[in-house]
Chains A and B, each alone.
Chain A
C-alpha cells in the first residue's frame, strides 16, 4: 500500500492542518468488510479522485465523511471535528460538506431555484431575497440561469446534475464530495457536468470525486486514489498513476477502464 506521505503532492497551504483526516477507519455491512484500515489526509484546496471497481468501497468512503454511512472503528476528523455514529450536531458538520449524488436527488416538488434556496434559508437562516440572489449567481456559474423556474422533471440529466452542484454550492461548503456524478448521464451530457467541476476545481475548492472519468482525473486531480476490496491500494499524482502504476491490481483496473473508454 502506498503511504500517503510519499504520495502527497505539494499543494498550496499544505502546511495547515488537514481539512479531512481518516485514521485506521474500518466499516462493516454485517460480516462484509467494506472499508479496511483506511488512512487518508486531505489538505485544504486539494483535489482527489477516487477510482476502483464497483464494490471496492469508494462511495462508502466519501459517504463516511459526512456520516451518511457510519464507520465502526478508526477516526474521522473533518476540519477539527471528530465525526462518529450518533454525533449530536452532525448537521453543523454536514452543512460545510457539499455532496453531489449519482442520481442527482433533486427535490421533485421544488423548482431549480427553490432547490438551491431551501437549505440556505432553513439551515443558515438567510432571508429569501438574499438566498435567491445567491442561488441565481450559482445557477449562472453552472451555466443554466435560464432554468431557474423549471422543475427537475423538466430538465435533462446534465441540467439536473448542474442544479444539484449549484444547490450544494449555495451552502458555501468547505469541501465538495462527488459520488459518481456522471455515471447516470447520457454520454453527450457528461462533458457539461465535468466542465462545471473543472471550473470548481480551478476556483480552489477542496474536492473528493469518485469517478471513472480518467480525463478529468488527469486534468484536475492532485492525487488519484485506487481502491479495491475496501482498501486504498495506491495513491499517486495523476501523471505517475497513469504512466507507472506500482500495484498489479491498479494496472489491471486501468487496463480495463482505459480500454473500454476508448483511450
Chain B
C-alpha cells in the first residue's frame, strides 16, 4: 500500500459537488411530486376504474417492477428518439424516475385506500356526508398514516436510485463526481466523499420524516 490520500484536490471542487447535490435533490423531489400524481391517479383507476384500465395499469406496474431501472433510462433517452421523442438528459432522467416511482407508488397508495374499512365510509354516508367530504375528513388522514412509512422509504430509494441517471450525463451528484474523478484521478477520495454525502442525505431525510410522523401523524395509543 503506497497510495497517498489526497482529499485537497477533491475539496477544491466542492462548489461542483454542492451543485450536484442540489441537482440530485431537485431531481428527486420533482420526480417524487410528479410520481405521486401518477400514483394517485393510477391507484384510483385501479380501485374504481373499468376493467380495461385496470389491465393497462397492471401492465405498467409489472413492466416497471420487472425490468432494471438502467434499462428504463436507456429506453427513454436512447430508445424513444427513434420514435421521434427526444429529451435532454435531465428531462429524460426526470421522466425515467417519475415512471419508475409512479409504478411503485400506485401499489402503496392502493394499499392505503384499501386499508380504510368499508364501515368508515358507510358511517360517513349515513351521517349525510358527500363523497368529497368523506374523502377529505374520514379517509385521508388514516390513509396517509397507513402509507407514510412506505412512501418515505420510496422517496429515499428514489433519491439513491437517481445516481443511476449519471449514465446519461444528467447533471446530478454521481455524474459530477465522475467528472471530478476523471480530472483529478482521485477515485477513492471522490467516491468516498460522495458516499458520505448520500449517506448524510439519507440520514437527514429519515430523521426529518420520523419527526414529521411524530408531530402530525401520530396515532392514538391505548
Contact = CB atoms under 8 A, between A and B. Distances in A.
- Which of A95, A103, A106, A109 counts the most B-chain CB atoms under 10 A from its CB? A109
Contact of B127 (A92, A103, A168, A177): A168
Given A109-B145, A153-B220, A94 B130 contact: no
Nearest to B133: A122
B84 interface: no
B82 interface: no
Contacts of B128: 91-92, 94-96, 119, 123, 171
Interface string A66-96: 1010000000000000000000000110111
Contacts of B67: none
Given A95-B128, A123-B127, A101 B138 contact: no
Contacts of A118: 127, 137
A99 B126 contact: yes
B74 to A, nearest CB: 44
B127 A119 contact: yes
Contacts of B122: 68, 99, 101, 105
Given A92-B128, A119-B129, A123-B128, A108 B123 contact: no
Task: Give chain B's interface residue range (CB within 8 Å of chain A).
Answer: 20 to 34
A234 B96 CA distance: 66
Nearest to A97: B126
A109 B139 CA distance: 10
A256 interface: no
B134 to A, nearest CB: 10
SS class, residues of chain B in contact with chain A: helix
Nearest to A95: B128
Nearest to B116: A108
A24 to B, nearest CB: 25
A216 interface: no
Contacts of A94: 125-128
B133 A123 contact: yes
B48 interface: no
Interface in B69-128: 117, 119-120, 122-128
B123 A106 contact: yes
- Which of B117, B124, B128, B129 counts the most A-chain CB atoms under 10 A from its CB? B128
A253 interface: no
B15 to A, nearest CB: 46
A167 B128 CA distance: 12
B173 to A, nearest CB: 39
Contacts, number: 74
Contact of A101 (B123, B141, B219, B222): B123
A109 B142 contact: yes
Interface in B178-222: 219-222
A91 B129 contact: yes
Nearest to B221: A153
A143 to B, nearest CB: 21
A107 interface: yes
Contacts of B125: 66, 68, 91, 94
A154 interface: yes
A200 B151 CA distance: 46
A158 interface: no
Contacts of B123: 99, 101, 105-107, 164, 167
B152 to A, nearest CB: 19
A122 B137 contact: yes
A98 interface: yes
B220 A167 contact: no
A92 B219 CA distance: 32
A177 B127 CA distance: 12
B97 to A, nearest CB: 32
B129 A123 contact: yes
Contact of B142 (A98, A108, A168): A108
18 contacts: A68-B126, A91-B128, A91-B129, A97-B126, A107-B120, A108-B142, A108-B219, A109-B141, A109-B145, A118-B127, A119-B128, A122-B133, A151-B220, A153-B219, A167-B123, A168-B126, A168-B127, A177-B126
Interface of B: 117, 119-120, 122-130, 133, 137-138, 141-142, 145, 219-222
Which 7 pairs show the lowest CB-CB distances between chains A and B? A95-B128, A151-B220, A119-B127, A99-B126, A105-B119, A105-B123, A94-B128
Given A96-B128, A99-B126, A154-B220, 14 more contacts: A68-B125, A91-B130, A95-B128, A99-B123, A105-B117, A107-B120, A107-B123, A108-B219, A118-B137, A119-B124, A119-B128, A119-B129, A123-B133, A168-B127
